[in-house]
A = this chain, B = another copy of it.
Amino acid sequence: MEFSSKLLEKAVNEISQLPGIGKRTALRLVLHLLKQPKEQTGFLTQALVAMREEIKFCESCHNISDTAICEICSNTGRNHQLVCVVEDIRDVMAIENTGQFKGVYHVLGGKISPIDGVGPSQLKISTLVEKVKSGKLSEVIFALSSTMEGDTTNFYIYKQIADSGIIISTIARGIAVGDELEYADEVTLGRSILQRLPFEKAIKNN
């Protein structure tokens, strides 16, 4: 693309470095900003700078927070012996939306993925192991995505805390609620048969 303005070109180039945004989309966004009042660009850039400069990560669970200890970790009404291990803040938000979890979280900040150059040392694994070793936890629940990277990360952590004596569980895999059996993939369907549970227990959860 050849631009008639260096300022325009630079703005487009910077925006197109964001994931999933190509040069054409970036140009569309920039032209939109040009049609809006100058203040809107000001609000946008100020919000981004404030977010990047001032955002904190909870010292306990490593989730994004405005305070040193996040709202969930400082909530004494929650079960602090029950820790759910997730990849990032989006998973915390998804689980919180269900209203089914009353424990606390531990946000790893990613999954072990050698292809993307992410090793265990870049994730918040050591602080989780410390928490487990401190003896204050009763259960750790793995809630990572069911992918090769998620399974690798689960297993890497499991090996380090397996002998701690606490319960180590993982969220249930199975046919999604509302799904038809014939369209389910065979691995998921196979697991949901092997990991079947008493009918009375299942209806109690509805």
Contacts and interface: CB of A to CB of B under 8 A. Distances in A.
Interface in A1-57: 1-8, 10-11, 13-15, 17-21, 25, 27-34, 38, 40-45, 47-56
A60 B96 CA distance: 57
Chain A interface, DSSP helix/strand/loop, else mixed: helix
- The 7 closest A-B CB pairs, nearest first, are A45-B45, A11-B51, A41-B52, A14-B47, A14-B44, A7-B51, A11-B47
Given A4-B66, A14-B48, 19 more contacts: A2-B93, A2-B96, A4-B63, A4-B64, A5-B65, A6-B66, A8-B51, A8-B55, A10-B50, A11-B47, A13-B47, A14-B43, A18-B29, A18-B32, A30-B51, A41-B48, A42-B52, A44-B48, A45-B48
